[in-house]
Amino acid sequence: MSLADRPATLAAFFADDHHRCDDAWGAIEQAIDRRDPAALTALWGTFEQTLRQHLAMEEEVLFPAFEEATGMTGGPTYVMRLEHTQMRAVLGQMASAAVRGDSREVLDQGDTLLMLIQQHNAKEEAMLYPMSEQVLGGMWVGLRDRLQPYVG
Ligand SMILES: [Fe+2]
């Protein structure tokens, strides 16, 4: 899917990508509610890929562009990278549980991950994305082209 079909501005694009991650997690919760282990396995792959792609798009494209444009390397992007590391650690534990088919553990760890994600996303959407829009909005189309490989 071409990223040109997604929301047109930088801030809206990344907020929309947060919602894609939320939706992918919601589908997992529904599969567990339905006691549908086959669906859980398939949906887990989608969720993990969607979230890992989101983190990579930020760390490898958005954050470096923000840091270069503002000269701020120890500011918001530093904090966001630390939080991404925390999120990946929980995600890794969840992946092991998903492979074992341990839906109880997936949900338990999922509660932790969801709490981290909600606090993290709120900060990005209230602060980092608007700041990025200001300093990078004029070069967004070029940046978006660099994100295309992340979604295939
Ligand atoms: Fe994000």
Cα 97 to ligand 1 centroid, rounded to whole Å: 24
CA 54 / ligand 1 centre spacing (Å)? 6
Nearest by Cα to 48 from 70, 25, 71: 25
CA of 14 to the centre of ligand 1 (A): 7
pLDDT tens digit sequence for 72-127: 999 999 999 999 999 999 999 999 998 888 889 999 999 999 999 999 999 999 99
CA of 99 to the centre of ligand 1 (A): 25
| 35 CA to centre of ligand 1 in angstroms | 30
pTM passes above 0.85: yes
Domain boundaries, the chain: 3-144
One of 1.10.10, 1.20.120, 1.25.40, 2.40.50 is the CATH number of 3-144, namely 1.20.120
The answer to whether 48 and 91 have CB atoms below 8 angstroms apart is yes
Q: What's the first-to-final CA gap in the chain, in angstroms?
A: 7
Q: Are 114 and 25 in contact (CB under 8 A)?
A: yes
